[in-house]
Amino acid sequence: MASSRFETHTIAGCGVRVLRGGRGTPLLFLHGAAGGGMWLPFMDKLAERFEVIVPDHPGYGQSDRPEWLDELSDLAYFYLDFMKALDLDRVHLVGHSLGGWLAAEIAIRSTARLASLTLVSAAGLHINGVSKGDLFLWSPEERVRNLFVDQSFADARLAQPMTDEAIDIALKNELATADLAWNPRFFHPQVRKWIHRIDVPTQIIWGDGDKIFPPRYAEEYNRLIRGSKLSVLSCGHIPQVEKAGAFVDLLTRFVEDVR
């Protein structure tokens, strides 16, 4: 196991908890609606080749909820400041789900510090006639089960005991997600309008059994981002967990080609 550590940085007046491990070119991973705060096996594998940096977004996990946080675009500007404050350059930006939407918003605004972009099961778009799963309407167990094709992953997650602290963080994350993605549900028209501005090598990774954002959304991102590469794995909404080995291989090969 690669060693990892927690750090706290204050940026734009907001205290942000950051999980960091490995050495090499920086790889910034942006978590989804459920939050971060855990060093997962795929991160450990990536840390053999990269410095893996995993913040809790402002409003999530152990990070502060700043007064300036009103919409997802605020987080996009925040992360541009974050990369500058940490002196990160040639960053491989990876975003999952809500974090994928956020990664796209960042790259739309500026790719000056980016070497590549990887969108994993990303929110952010709307396609007429292609429905999404609704996290806000599912029960807690339905949310977990609908994340995976292989239900052994759901069983393991549901079997984990919830401490009072974990319950408080889960509620905090749900509130932040509702504020950022309630209306419209998990997209913004500005993404489609300005996505042509993304000018770094981009990879899109998706699960063919994604019940939240069906693979048609992967195809649309691939169509809209010029020169992007699409890879579809046999799994659900979290390829980096359900197909960790294949995910790491795809991401590593893609990044090495960028270098």
Of 34, 29, 48, residue with least CA distance to 94: 29
Six-digit token string for 75: 């987080």
pLDDT surpasses 70 at 2: no
Q: Measure the CA–CA gap between 234 and 215, rounded to whole angstroms.
A: 11
Q: Would you tell me the crossing angle of helices 164-181 and 98-109 to the nearest 10 degrees? A: 50
- The range of the structural domain enclosing residue 35 comes to 4-258
Place of tokens 């952010």: 124
Number of domains in the chain: 1
pLDDT per position as a tens digit, 130-159: 999 999 999 999 999 999 999 999 999 999
Q: Measure the CA–CA gap between 17 and 181, rounded to whole angstroms.
A: 22
Strand partners, 231: 205
pLDDT surpasses 90 at 211: yes
pLDDT per position as a tens digit, 18-61: 999 999 999 999 999 999 989 999 999 999 999 999 999 999 99
Cβ-based neighbours of 209, under 8 Å, separated by 6 or more: 149, 234, 235, 236
Of 192, 258, 194, 199, residue with least CA distance to 226: 199
pLDDT per position as a tens digit, 113-130: 999 999 999 999 999 999
Q: What is the CATH number of the domain that holds 220?
A: 3.40.50.1820
Q: Report H helices in the chain.
A: 41-46, 72-85, 98-109, 140-145, 151-159, 164-181, 189-194, 215-224, 239-242, 244-258
Q: Measure the CA–CA gap between 150 and 73, rounded to whole angstroms.
A: 34
pLDDT confidence of 233, banded at 50, 70, 90?
very high
Give backbone dihedrals phi and psi of 188, rounded to 5 degrees, phi first: -145, 135
Half-sphere exposure of 254 (CA within 13 A, CB side): 27
- Identity at 152, one-letter amino acid code: S
pLDDT surpasses 70 at 235: yes
Half-sphere exposure of 235 (CA within 13 A, CB side): 23
The pLDDT score that the predictor gives to residue 251 is: 97
